[in-house]
Amino acid sequence: METYKKPLLKDRRFWPSFWTQFAGAFNDNVFKNALVILITYKSYTLSSLTPEQMVALCGGLFIVPFFLFSALAGQLSDKFAKHKLMVWVKVGEICCMIVGAFGFYCESINLLLLTLFFMGTQSAFFGPVKYSVLPELVREEELVQGNALVELGTFLAILLGTITGGILIGVKVGALWVSVITIVIAILGTWTSWFVNPLPPRNPMLHIRYGLIKPTWEIIKIAKEVKSIWHSVLGISWFWFLGAALLSMFPIYVKDVLHADEKVVTLFLAMFSVGVGVGSMLCEKMSRERLELGLVPLGSIGMSFFVIDLFFVGKPSWALSEGPLFTLSQFVFFPSGWRILLDLLLFSVFAGFFIIPLYTFIQQRSETKIRSRVIAANNIINSLFMVGTSIVLAVLYGFGFNAIELFLFFGVLNILVAIYIYTVIPEFLLRFACVIMTRLVYRLEVKGIRNIPQEGPAVIVSNHVTFIDWLFIAAVVKRPVRFVMHYECANMPLLKFLFRNEKVIPIAGHKEDPHILEEALKKISIELSSGELVCIFPEGMITRIEKIIAQNPVPVIPLTLHGLSKPSVALKNIWRKVGIHINSPIHPQNVTAGSLEEMARASLKEVQESIQVS
């Protein structure tokens, strides 16, 4: 079947939801930044509150609705058709912007703060729809790309909205311009939401639970039912904790450490937003149309390295000046200024590697009928972590930490959090090993990938060359594979840790340990009856494979590895081309010991020919 090549941004299935969420994120940041500037420079305030306290109040008013309404939002998104909910939420955004326009016209800080609260409420109801609708609009192999585009759009919308709000409020009749722009964008976002494909309700019989504490705790328990999903939620929340910390530190770092003006702060925000967008798209390219969890450890390593490098940059010698603050053009003139910008950009790129697979993982592993509530739980935990950022920063500043020392603190803390995540979910490290071997150490050439069925049981039979053969097969096959390995290899300390969640099946010869053999055959039957893929390396097992297929009549898929050699980790093999040839499935009725032996001879001949050619 021919692959659908139309770009998602031009695809009717995707672009309406993309531009709907883009418009919402843009509007949020236009309004928020315009209001913050009014408070900072035009003394919009309540009673005796200082401008700093008012800015903090604005952040709180936008975050509070996520605690109050996310539980209800998740339930509504699971119960009702998501395309209709998107329209109603966007209509609510138009109403918010009209209230905000009256606030600007009357110069009423009360109305403006109320509008900010309404905007947070609207975002809280839109969040579960935004992410849970994506798996229903695109195919599974497009899900990573869809998430990458959504993150790219979100961060670009944040950047453009922040800049636009700052520029508009600074011109003559700026409040009028902000009002007009936000209302127009809200109308455009509502218009695009009308084009989202009709979707059926996923859990129409769901009983809506109202309230705050109990419904919130219930959806958090739903998210915690699958440990890997819950730890992914914590991973995403950690990113928002770390990202919020850096964004909060930018103004202080730029002014007090780099002795530069506010335009440099805007440049830092731009580098952060563009970097996450670029990282998201690179993540999609490196994933090769599949969920690639191995990029998560790579992302955490890069994030730690580049934030710690900001500590080693320290306070540049040119920043010791007591004169006027450096302008943007002066800042980029300094070599260390470029190093700082590169650190910020690459930190953000690796952040894209970190969060895109986690979002995709949550979407894929969550059941359709509860997916929106899992996303809502994620939003609640994200908000808690971001509130925690403010508390941690306040405490650290109270202990006398400066911005430079905080970079080291958060970099080391990120390493510790990463170690914890990968200890409890070894699957991330296993996939990381696949990424390293198949993207950085070897060059992979695959033929016949479409011979692997998208669903249903099958046995993959592969030639055995080295102790890392399984890594290449796991890297290529998009579905989870249950590998049958010799028990001594499967029980090696490091491999046993990595294989904990991969359901590797240890096997032994009848003379070695008949009990292990019997258990292995049982597990193979269980996995095949559950519709899984099982990979067997048939050396010395041809007769036994024939019996397995007789008891479990499923297709057999011959796979040939060539280009590998023993020892497989020799330096001469670095960046060597490794070929994987996946042949057409063999019907179970045609699987005999003779056909398997013929398959093995053909595999050996193919490998020998590949060696001669190379």
Parse the chain into domains and list their residue ranges. Answer: 8-196, 210-424, 437-613
What's the pTM value of the predicted model, to 2 decimals? 0.82
Task: For the domain made up of 210-424, give the CATH fold.
Answer: Growth Hormone; Chain: A; (1.20.1250)
State residue 182's pLDDT score.
Answer: 95
Among all chains, which residue has been given the structure tokens 């970079």? 407
3-state secondary structure 515-553: HHHHHHHHHHHHHHHCCCEEEECCCCCHHHHHHHHHHCC
Q: How confident is the model at residue 17 (pLDDT cuts 50, 70, 90)?
A: very high
Read off the pLDDT band of 408 (50, 70, 90): very high
Q: Which pLDDT band, with edges at 50, 70 and 90, does 570 fall under?
A: very low
pLDDT confidence of residue 140: 83
Quick one: pLDDT band at residue 516, thresholds 50, 70, 90? confident
Average pLDDT, the chain: 85
Cβ neighbours of residue 487 under 8 Å, at least 6 residues apart? 506, 507, 508, 512, 513, 516
Least confident of 323-337, 406-420, 532-546: 532-546
Q: List, as one string, the DSSP characters of 6-32.
A: --GGG-TTTHHHHHHHHHHHHHHHHHH
pLDDT digits (tens, 9 = 90+) for 217-248: 999 999 999 888 998 899 999 999 999 888 88
Are domains 8-196 and 210-424 of this chain identical in fold? yes
CATH topology of domain 437-613: Glycerol-3-phosphate (1)-acyltransferase (3.40.1130)
Is residue 569 over pLDDT 60?
Answer: no
* Per-residue pLDDT at 612: 52
Q: What percent of the chain has pLDDT over 70?
A: 89
Q: How far is CA 394 from the centre of its chain?
A: 29
Give the residue from 134, 136, 129 showing the smallest Cα distance to 149. Answer: 134
Confidence band, pLDDT 50/70/90 cuts, at residue 3: very low
Peptide bond preceding 558 in cis form (omega within 30 of 0): no
Task: Output the DSSP codes for 260-314.
Answer: B-HHHHHHHHHHHHHHHHHHHHHHHHHHTSS--TTHHHHHHHHHHHHHHHHHHH-
Helix (H, G, I), strand (E, B) or coil at 490: helix
Mean of pLDDT values over 474-501 = 76
428-443, pLDDT tens digit by residue?
Answer: 777 787 777 777 778 7
- Higher-confidence residue of 392 and 494: namely 392
Over residues 535-562, the mean pLDDT reads 83
Mean pLDDT value of segment 246-257: 86
pLDDT tops 60 at residue 572: no
DSSP string, 378-409: HHHHHHHHHHHHHHHHHHHHHTT--HHHHHHH
The CATH superfamily assigned to 8-196 is: MFS general substrate transporter like domains (1.20.1250.20)
> Which has more confidence, 96 or 430?
96
Higher pLDDT, 84 or 603: 84
pLDDT digits (tens, 9 = 90+) for 46-93: 667 676 677 777 888 888 899 899 999 999 999 999 999 999 999 999
pLDDT tens for each residue of 362-392 = 998 888 899 999 999 999 999 999 888 888 8
